[in-house]
Amino acid sequence: MFAVLSMDTALLGTGIVFVVIAVLVVGIFALRKASGARGGSPKEPQPDPVAPLAERVRMDARSTAGMVPAPGSIGEVDLYTVDDHTAALLMAIVAEDLACEPNELTFVSIREV
């Protein structure tokens, strides 16, 4: 008798858990629909903010290949576990965020954290 009672209790508890989960899922979908949030990919793809900077860095690298350093240049930048392309992108991003020219900044070293 106790085995049947404990089996009924286990099935009832499991059923309640599944019903509560289903109610939560329906509630989440209703809230998302009411708030206007959408799943999946957005209608218009967002432009990559780094792409224009990367292209500008590539163009600068091509145009300055084989030239002497600019007047006032301090020298080399120590790169620790960072390739040249990534370092150039970081320098361009920092210059863009500070709204100044890249040659006005001094980078001593760049390392990956």
Residue 57 CA to residue 108 CA, distance in Å, equals: 19
Which DSSP helix (H) or strand (E) runs through 48?
A: none
pLDDT class of 87 with cuts at 50, 70, 90: confident
pTM of the model: 0.35
Residue 77 CA to residue 87 CA, distance in Å, equals: 9
Residue 86 CA to residue 79 CA, distance in Å, equals: 10
**Residue 72 structure tokens:** 């006032």
pLDDT class of 15 with cuts at 50, 70, 90: very high
Cβ(101)–Cβ(107) below 8 Å: no
Residue 88 CA to residue 81 CA, distance in Å, equals: 14
The amino acid occupying position 88 is A
pLDDT digits (tens, 9 = 90+) for 20-73: 999 999 999 998 888 875 555 556 666 666 666 656 555 555 555 555 665 656
Indicate the SS3 state at residue 25.
helix
Which DSSP helix (H) or strand (E) runs through 85?
A: helix 84-98
